[in-house]
Amino acid sequence: MPRIHIDHREYDVRPGRNLLETCLSLGFDLPYFCWHPALGSVGACRQCAVKAFANAEDTNGKLVMACMESVADGQRISIRDPQAVEFRENVIGWLMTNHPHDCAVCDEGGSCHLQDMTVMTGHAYRKFRFNKRTYRNQYLGPFLNHEMNRCIQCYRCVRFYKDYAGGHDLDAFASANRVYFGRSDDGVLENEFSGNLAEVCPTGVFTDKTLKQHYTRKWDLTSAPSVCVHCSVGCNTLAGERYGSLRLISNRYNGSVNGYFLCDRGRFGYEFVNVSSRIREPRIPVNTQGESWEEHVHKATEVFRGTRIVGIGSPRASLEANFVLSRIAGRGNFYHGVSSSEFELSKTASQILAKGTVPSLSLKDVEKCDVVVIWGEDVTNTAPMLALAVRQALRNRPMEKSIAANIPPWNDAATRERVQQERGPLVIGSYGTTRLDEVASMTFRASPGALSRVGCAVANQLDDAAPLAGTLDEEEQAVANEIVRVLRSARRPVIISGVSSGSMEVLQSAANMAEAVRRHNADTGLVLTFPACNSLGLALMEGRPFAELLHEEQDRRGTLIILENDLYRHADPRTVQKIVALFDHVIVIDHTWHETARNAQLVLPAGTFAESEGTFVNNEGRAQRYFQVYEPVNGIRESWRWLLTLGNALGVSQKGPWNSHDEIVRALAASADVFEPVMRVAPSANYRIYGQRIPRQPHRYSGRTAMSANRSVSEGKPPEDRDAPLSYTMEGTRLPPPSVAIPFFWWPGWNSVQSVAKYQDEVGGPLRGGDPGIRLLEPTSKAPLYFSVSAQKPPEVIVVPLHHIFGSEELSVLAPAIAERCPKPYLAAGPMTFGMHTADHGAVMRLEIHGRMLTLPVVVDPAMPKGVAGLPVGLPGMEYFELPASASVIMQLQNAE
């Protein structure tokens, strides 16, 4: 381990790192701009200058840029050397010659890295007295605001957008003092991760446009640690509130999951919390009297007492809420609120993760892989951050050449110069075009049956014990042979598949591939995606798909409780209507109005993720806790709290009594071995740091005494959180809390998101005390888990599910910014799917699927194989269809000109 000297003190440091990240990891305040822990070094800003000395006798030294110097044993540097201090102050000085100094009206104010570094360098006076350079700003879409006059030309934006995230429509233009960062023309930034520019940019050039609609300074936000609810990856977020509305979602670093970034759906989909379609008060069918909503509900449900209780759970509700509902309904009366096919797929996926031999990888693990095979899943649209991790994994094999040339991995500029556009192997088997096709070394577009046949053939070539799924044609055999060759060359391969393909055969063939590769390579990993934020958590619970209610023999009258679920998104309308009609009473607990809620007799307003706390299990099998951001108003309650109220009102024992979140968690942990670790996911409500709670509000929080002055001049007592160790005030400990309970990132002198380095063991490493979350599932078998796959001969036309990052997810599509990016319903097909002339772009086709008619315009996807058509899932206005499914072409209504 190298030993270096910094300002005459010795430090043992980790080899292979540069001086800047080493100094930051040791706790030094060394300013920087162009460097980013996820992007590496380019040496563009010159802000991190330090004085380097040849030996102990050298008193002159030389200025070097810390981000471009590798640590070496015996190295001697000085951060406080007067020449280095003056140089860093001068760098700020020349950056400020054209900066508008508009902090008072800048959206970045209070969380600005440029502000922090300006103060850190001691630059307090402006010496430039001439006209400043000005730019014309661009419209960049509904997510980001553009203010180029604040730019300091650090190049972080294009390095993230183009080099890291794979975007194409943001670039650097002009030269010298006129460098411009934007698009060639005004327009929406197309990349799915563009929102990260608001945090990557160290100034206020790119800012959150949704925050601008209800702006609040960072120090005026009440914040809490949360988990993204818009896909199964479970990215960690910080949710901020002001005046009873959710104002901002920002990234919460988790080194094992999302790291420093979020996708745009996760960052901007939060506005569903504030929309007018929220359920704000209980809808009670009879006139009742009571002092609280609980009393109203208790009296309203007296007529329900003594009836059979049936519960339908939800893949977007917490473990705790689903667990309480399952106990109220009782054994045999708890159903999963998903379609029959999704139920079987999710159950099978959970068995693969728990009973196979291949470990489930985190996003951090995926980034370390050198060969990636994606089978049947469009991960950019179903698990966007997984797609971002795949892009990073493709750099690993080419980087071996740069490492062999003695170029350290952190030297981003030199590394990219060495590898150019070279990428590692990425094999994609899909139904049609995907966003990752542009970086794939091989793509295979086929029907579900063909994908399963090839997947099983690959597994069989790697391990004779793996069963085949049918005979391959010449093209399929060539594809299988190439995939086998690529997998045999891998050091750390990963197989990615999931539930969203809709095909059990595709999922099982991917699992077979992973098991077969694992027989040859112990470093093989597997990633399976799920449709919703807690799909895997629900799949780990006992139950049956709710469609089976139609086939029960026992008395089906009674009371149906539907938890956070619009059943019309999981079954065709006729099936839902028949199921609802089976019951005398229907109770819906949810936070947003939908068709299911409108048809219920009793509707109870549930808290969203921002108004409740609970636990989700992500696709990796990692249980993660999210905390309440603010106390809900009116009749809004956490789902599990409403269920406790209902259980008492209906006279149903929950095997309690349970009166708090901690008590429910203890009962959940005792209910099954797989849930036992949930007890350790987060500290209990009684946790204190030297007797103090963890404040949700920064010490600079303002306006507390004035926020309610329109109602009363007396300041009310802050609400008390009996279910978490956090408080709703500024008061509390200022010591770093456990990583799972960090409500915001702030450190003296570091107000921006860059302050996260102060909470890490080392820059880019895990948070102190370990990254949040505990894995519930680990491989338990030593023998491979192989599936016998039956690949059916496809019908003349098979319709497969297609997913959209903006539009397919139920909650985010309610956010205005996301809705603006949502496509209209369509039918995707290859040029020959419906014949030479009927698949013209814009032609309107009428199909019959499962006996139901569907009329949609055709969008031609040249990559789609013959006989395969794609139907977008979950778009507003579209009914549910269980896909893949055969389809009959009824007629062509019109042709595009």
Model confidence band, residue 895 (pLDDT cutoffs 50, 70, 90): low
Specify whether the CB–CB gap between 4 and 53 falls below 8 A.
no
pLDDT of residue 291: 60
pTM, full prediction? 0.96
453, two tokens = 């046949």
Based on the fold, state whether residues 420 and 519 are members of the same structural domain. yes
Q: Are residues 398 and 500 in the same domain?
A: yes
Distance separating alpha carbons of residues 807 and 92, to the nearest angstrom:
43
Mean pLDDT, rounded, for 135-159: 97
Same domain? For 82 and 147 the reply is no
Query: Which residue range(s) make up the domain with 866?
Result: 798-894
Domain containing 89 — which CATH number?
3.10.20.740
The percent of residues in the chain predicted with pLDDT above 90, rounded, is 86
**For the residues 724-729, what does the mean pLDDT come to?**
97
Reported confidence tier of residue 707, pLDDT bands at 50, 70, 90: confident
**Using CA atoms, how far apart are residues 476 and 496, in angstroms rounded to an integer?**
20
Our separate counts of H helices and E strands in the chain read: 24, 34
Q: Residue type at 601? A: Q
- The count of structural domains within the chain is 4
CA-to-CA distance for 376 and 456, rounded, in angstroms? 13
Band of residue 555 on the pLDDT scale cut at 50, 70, 90 = low
Which of 109, 99, 102 has its CA nearest to residue 211?
109
Between CA 839 and CA 165 the distance in angstroms is: 33
**Is 250 a member of any domain?**
yes
Q: Span 78-90, mean pLDDT?
A: 97
- 90 and 149 assigned to the same domain: no
* pLDDT at residue 653 greater than cutoff 70: no
Say if residue 199's pLDDT is above 50. yes
CATH code of the domain containing 881: 2.40.40.20
What is the identity of the amino acid at 524? T
The three-class DSSP label of residue 62 is strand
141: region left, alpha or beta (phi > 0 left; psi from -120 to 50 alpha): left
130 plus 90 within the same structural domain: no
**Residues 380, 252 share a domain:** no
Least confidently predicted of 22-36, 329-343, 639-653: 639-653
Statement to judge: residues 66 and 159 lie in one domain = no
pLDDT in tens, 759-803: 999 999 999 999 999 999 999 888 999 999 987 777 889 999 999
Burial of 897 (0-12, 13-18, 19+ CB in 10 A): exposed
Confidence of residue 893 (pLDDT cuts 50, 70, 90): low
Model confidence at 836: pLDDT above 50: no
Question: Does the pLDDT of residue 608 top 50, yes or no?
Answer: yes
Query: How many residues does the structure list for the chain?
Result: 897
Residues 72 and 112 in one domain: no
The two tokens of residue 722 are 């009996």
Whether 823 has a pLDDT exceeding 50, the answer reads: yes
Q: Are residues 85 and 112 in the same domain?
A: no
865, part of any domain = yes
Query: What CATH number does residue 410 fall under?
Result: 3.40.228.10
Helices 396-404 and 412-419: angle between axes, nearest 10 degrees: 100
The pLDDT, as a whole number, for residue 896 is 46
Whether the pLDDT of residue 894 is over 70: the answer is: no
Q: Which of 273, 297, 325 is the last residue of a domain?
A: 273
Assess whether 377 and 400 both reside in one domain.
yes
**Cα–Cα distance list, 760 to 253, 682, 696 (Å):** 9, 18, 20
Judged by phi (left if over 0) then psi (alpha if -120 to 50, else beta), residue 378 lies in beta
Collapsed DSSP state (helix, strand, coil) of residue 878? coil
Query: pLDDT tens across 278-311, in order?
Result: 999 999 876 665 667 777 787 777 777 878 899 9
Query: Among candidates 486, 514, 490, 263, which has minimal Cα distance to 375?
Result: 514
Q: Which pLDDT value is given to residue 639?
A: 97
pLDDT > 70 in the chain, percent: 97
pLDDT reading at 313 higher than 50? yes
Supply 643's token pair: 């269920």
Residue 158 has pLDDT above 90, yes or no: yes
User: Region 248-260: what's the mean pLDDT?
Assistant: 98
pLDDT in tens, 409-454: 999 999 999 999 999 999 999 999 999 999 999 999 999 999 999 9
Among residues 530, 556, 584, which one ends one of the domains? 530
Mean pLDDT over residues 573-583, rounded? 95
What beta strand segments (E) does 546-685 contain?
559-563, 585-590, 602-605, 614-617, 622-626
Tokens encoding 729? 């005030």
Of 500, 530, 560, the one marking the end of a domain is: 530
Beta strands in 307-441 (DSSP E): 309-312, 334-336, 371-375, 426-430
Torsion of CA 197, 200, 206, 208, to 10 degrees: 70
pLDDT tier at 516, thresholds 50, 70, 90: very high
| CA within 13 Å, CB half, 744 | 27
The answer as to whether 404 is a domain residue is yes
Tell me, rounded to whole angstroms, the distance of Cα 569 from its chain centroid.
21
Task: Please check whether residue 297 lies inside any domain of the structure.
Answer: no
Considering the domain architecture, whether residues 450 and 371 belong to the same structural domain is answered as yes
**Pick the residue with more confidence: 655 or 490?**
490
The answer to whether position 202 is within a domain reads: yes
* Residues whose CB is less than 8 angstroms from the CB of residue 540 and which lie 6 or more positions away in sequence, other chains included: 350, 617, 672, 674, 675, 776
Residue 791 inside a domain? The answer is no
Task: Output b/e per residue, 766-797; b: 16+ Cβ within 10 A.
Answer: bbeeebbbbbbbebeeeebbbbebebeebeeb
Cα(782)–Cα(355) distance, rounded to whole angstroms? Answer: 9
Radius of gyration of the chain (CA): 28
Interval 365-404: pLDDT, tens? 999 999 999 999 999 999 999 999 999 999 999 999 999 9
| pLDDT surpassing 50 at residue 609 | yes
Alpha carbon distance 272, 769 (integer Å): 33
**pLDDT level of residue 554 (50, 70, 90 thresholds):** low
Work out the pLDDT band at 669, boundaries 50, 70, 90: very high
**Residue showing tokens 């990052």:** 805
User: Does position 897 have pLDDT exceeding 50, yes or no?
Assistant: no
**What does the pLDDT average to over 186-215?**
97
- Give 545's contacts (C-beta < 8 A, 6+ positions apart): 335, 336, 338, 339, 340, 342, 343, 344
Whether residue 52 lies inside any domain: the answer is: yes
Tell whether 605 is covered by a domain.
Answer: no
76 shares its domain with 173:
no
Question: pLDDT value at position 837?
Answer: 46
Rounded to an integer, what distance in angstroms lies between the CA atom of residue 464 and that of residue 457?
10
Residue 856 has pLDDT above 80, yes or no: yes
| Mean pLDDT over the full length of the chain | 94
